[in-house]
Structure 1
């Protein structure tokens, strides 16, 4: 067993998965697919006793490929659930409130029956961005309340989306050493970031809350999920359901600030209380990943910048810019 996450005993984590269909403008690498990802996740979850896991995914890819519905069916057939994550995956800061709520309704055209079949009708904001304008946030929450949605926050993440582009480059370059390093680093980063989130939470609240985690249904996750779960268990993590996680007041109560920045709820609380959050994001790790298997047009910003711009345009808006305020500090580090 590795060093425990907390000196107070096991830390409870509710696993959730975002975007296992990926996104418009971001295809799977050669040899990977939504089917492969869903199969990998459901198999690993069964072996680790993770049940009733909620998936939140933008349904835009289903517009391009209706057969992806089969993977949603496979996910639910394995005993898991689906929430709403909008159709196009745009931040509320990029579009008017009316356009954002219309995008939530549009997603129901594709997966509404799955959402209604879940024990709880959850909604997750794309990128866990709840919006910077209080009036707009209130308008969106009014809509969610009318539609019986409960917003499901993220209180722990480890920047797994930043692994997508380097793993894609490694796969397309047949760079097996780089791919293996990324899989190891994925698991190590998951544990390191949970340790940091837990330490900051104990400083702010005097206890270990139940963390609501997220990772994305991507190629790198499909190959890393087992070593990542093994590493978390070895560090004393106990997996619980999202419903149980939402009973913790720190998840049930929205963080007390509005921001356009890429922050989960624990980070928002730290910003609000003026508590330092050292090592989050893990800038050195992200910089080393940026140097992996370089290919023209496949940096993190190339890949996700195009995705974000397309998402905003699809909903009639534009990317505000600057949300990922730490990204400018990520520069390729070559070993």
Structure 2
């Protein structure tokens, strides 16, 4: 098909010649548990709530990125992973202990990746678990370290799970635990409002970044975390994405877009994150910082949970 005819066909393929609906792949980090959580929380029940919310929203297979050290150190949360897999949801590598590459160094970081693999291979039984999400999204203190890790990922057959949309949802967990302990329902309601507002801001930011860098929407890869508050908010969050016109796709489908070529093949030269490449360009929206307000919320009350790590 000639280029002009192809363009016309693509234009006509959507109602009224409108742009196609933007797409988003949901991914979840820090399985099987991310604390703090309100006192008395059934952490395994979080798995059922999450998987039921994903199924009800018809999101499709959502990759969960696992730190298996958590399950080995706290057997009480290990059933979370079984529930996740029985729901037909895939798991992938987030490092055994969520090690920080910039702190532990290259050799220890690669060992941490490898230490997670026996669980993943057994849990996935021939399905594709060779996706890697960098803990803290830190890819190296310099080019040499970054290339060394990418080379090892390529040798092991991994694709990198990029992040092109995020709103630091984990920041809502500590104030939620504090506010529940305080019995402050009004504060919890404000947390719910600000959480959804932050998600909307992240949509606006990521779409403006993609348009500045690529001149178009790309399939976005959303990072959210397993935690008590995101579990509470997940049905509303997914509904909000649909209301904003998004359709849900899988991580492999999203990263089949050329924008993710260097992530699908770590042997290729790396590129900076979408947000860094868009920085300073005209028309790019910058999300407000919700951190200070969240840190101050219900701060006079006793903290209700302790981190696993």
Q: TM-score, normalised by structure 2?
A: 0.84
User: Which residue does the alignment assign to 2:296?
Assistant: 291
1:40 to partner: Cα distance: 1.3
CA spacing shift, 1:232–1:113, aligned 2, 3 Å: same
| 1:197 shift after superposition | 0.9
**Where do 4+ consecutive residues of structure 1 move more than 6 Å?**
none
**Counterpart selection for 1:279 from 280, 286, 309:** 286
Alpha-carbon deviation of 1:67?
Answer: 4.4
User: What is the deviation of 1:213?
Assistant: 0.4
The match for 1:217 among 226, 244, 260 is 226
8 Å CA contact retained: 2:24, 2:246: yes
- What is aligned with 1:137? 146
- What CA distance in whole angstroms lies between the structure 2 residues aligned with 1:275 and 1:121? 37
Equivalence map 1:151-300=2 (5 Å):
151-254=160-263, 256-257=271-272, 265-271=273-279, 277-280=284-287, 282-283=288-289, 285-295=290-300
User: Matches of 2:70 and 2:283 in 1, distance apart?
Assistant: 38
Q: What's the counterpart of residue 316 of structure 1? A: none
Structure showing greater radius of gyration is 2
Give the aligned partner of residue 13 of structure 2: none
Q: Is the 8 A contact 1:16 1:55 kept in 2?
A: yes
> Residues 207, 18 of structure 1: CA spacing in aligned structure 2 closer, same or farther, 3 A cutoff?
same
Compute the displacement of 1:112 (Å): 3.5
CA distance, structure 2, for counterparts of residue 59 and residue 295 of structure 1: 34
Aligned partners of 1:82 and 1:118 also within 8 Å: no
- CA 1:295 to 1:62, structure 2 compared with 1: closer, same or farther past 3 Å? farther
SS of equivalent residue, structure 1 residue 208: coil
Q: Which residue of 1 aligns with 2:41?
A: 32
Segments of 5+ residues of structure 2 without an aligned counterpart are 1-17, 264-269
Partner in structure 1 of residue 110 of structure 2: 101
Residues 5-39 of structure 1: CA distance to partner in whole angstroms, max 9, x if unpaired? xx84421000011113235xx44321324312211
Match of 2:3 in 1: none
The TM-score with structure 1 as length reference comes to 0.78
Cα-to-partner distance string for 1:264-300 (whole Å, 9 max, x where unaligned): x2212224x75674433x21x333222211147859x
Distance 1:104 1:122 in 2: 11
Contact residue 208 and residue 285 of structure 2 kept, 8 A = no
Judged with a 3 Å threshold, the aligned counterparts in structure 2 of structure 1 residues 298 and 256 are, in CA distance, closer, same or farther, namely farther
CA distance in 1, matches of 2:121, 2:128: 14
SS of 2:164's partner is: coil
Deviations 1:281-333 (A, max 9, x none): x21x333222211147859xxx88xx8xx6xxxxxxxxxxxxxxxxxxxxxxx
Q: Pick one of 67, 71, 91 that aligns with 1:62.
A: 71
CA shift, 1:237, in A, is 0.9
Q: Secondary structure at the match of 2:278?
A: helix
Q: Distance in 1 between matches of 2:19 and 2:228?
A: 35
Q: Which of 87, 90, 93 is residue 81 of structure 1 equivalent to? A: 90
Match of 1:14 in 2: 25
- Cα distance in structure 2, aligned partners of 1:66 and 1:111: 17
Instruction: Verify the 8 A CA contact 2:33 2:70 in the aligned structure 1.
Output: yes
